[in-house]
Structure 1
Amino acid sequence: MELDAIDLRILDELQRDGALSNVELARRVHLSPSPCLARVKVLETSGVIDRYVALANAKALGLGLNVFISISLTTQSKQSLADFEQRIVEHDEVMECYLMTGDSDYLIRIAVADMAALERFIMEQLTPIPGIEKIRSSFALKQVRYKTALPLPAAPLLSSKG
């Protein structure tokens, strides 16, 4: 899908505040509400807009410890990777999981309350997963930047809708 300058402005506003009313969104992007809503629907149905969520404050929920865990598996067969992925996504503490290149097979980020919760996660949920060879944890001392909005291309670089 080709995005024009108006689509990009709509995306920029919705990435900042997905709860905007259509009337307010239309005002911010200088459209009337009906064409604005039509554009949003196209962005949704085409998959450019994946979903709308509320971003909860981890610290307010008592989840102040961000832990990055590198995991190496004993084998890297398609089946062992699929088995691990199926098991790891079952855990609510796992915020992100990436298949990696380099020294480890996976990198996960978990959100837990404290070191005791981390120990429980590792001992009761992570180590029982078959095929794990090595687990290495790193802790975030400080969150310097956290954002959910994707960088959008500059409008002049994209062709205009006819």
Structure 2
Amino acid sequence: MVKNMDSLDVKIISALQRDGRMTMAELSEEVGLSPTPCARRVANLEKAGVIVGYGARVDQSKLGLPVTIFVAVELERQSRDALLKFEAAVRQFDQVMECYLMTGTRDILLRVVAASLSDFDDFLEKRLMCVPGIRNTRSSFTLRTMVQRSALPGRRGGTNP
């Protein structure tokens, strides 16, 4: 957590998570600051790495990618070198939306999107399973999304917006 964040910073972050396209005038009005100090706080949050970028949330189904699959990967070895090589390989796959190093029986968890089951089968056979060092994989297909958030919750035990 970044030190010296106060309730106004939390309000700014919350507002920008809801609408990253709002103007500085709209943002400053919403959080109760004049535009110049508000812009300075946003710049400080960006410089500190709290705000890492801005983007559009997109409906993957409307782009022809209605299938979401979680793939648990077990590696043959859990050495630093093996992890770095695996990470470098999956970074090259556009279908991999997220990749997490995990605890437990599976080393890696991937969130993969695909146009169809056959598209995923093709990805699995011709791309993922060609990555050296994989012992096995286990895939789980989503039926529907029940909860999906893009905004992080306010700080616990601190000041919430």
Per the shorter chain, which TM-score range? over 0.9
Structure 1: 5+ residue runs without aligned partners? Answer: none
Q: Secondary structure at the match of 1:38?
A: helix
Structure 2: segments with no counterpart, 5+ residues: none
Specify the alignment match of 2:158 in structure 1: 157
Which of 52, 55, 72 lines up with 1:53 in the alignment?
55
Identity rate, percent? 39
Provide the secondary structure at the position in 2 that maps to 1:59: helix
What does 1:1-162 align with in structure 2 at a 5 Å threshold? 1-153=3-155, 157=158
Residues in 2 aligned to 1:77 and 1:48: alpha-carbon distance in whole angstroms: 30
3-state secondary structure, aligned to 2:150: coil
**How many angstroms apart in 2 are the aligned matches of 1:27 and 1:127?**
52
Task: Show CA shifts across 1:89-146 (max 9, x none).
Answer: 1111101101111111100001111101100110111011011110110011110011
Runs of 4+ in 1 over 4 A off after TM superposition: none
Shift of residue 157, structure 1, vs aligned partner: 2.3
Q: Which amino acid aligns with 2:69?
A: V
Report SS of the residue matched to 1:97.
Answer: strand
CA distance in 1 between counterparts of 2:33 and 2:130 reads 55
- 1:75 Cα deviation after fit: 1.3
Q: Which amino acid aligns with 2:101?
A: L
Which one-letter code corresponds to 1:3 in the other structure? M
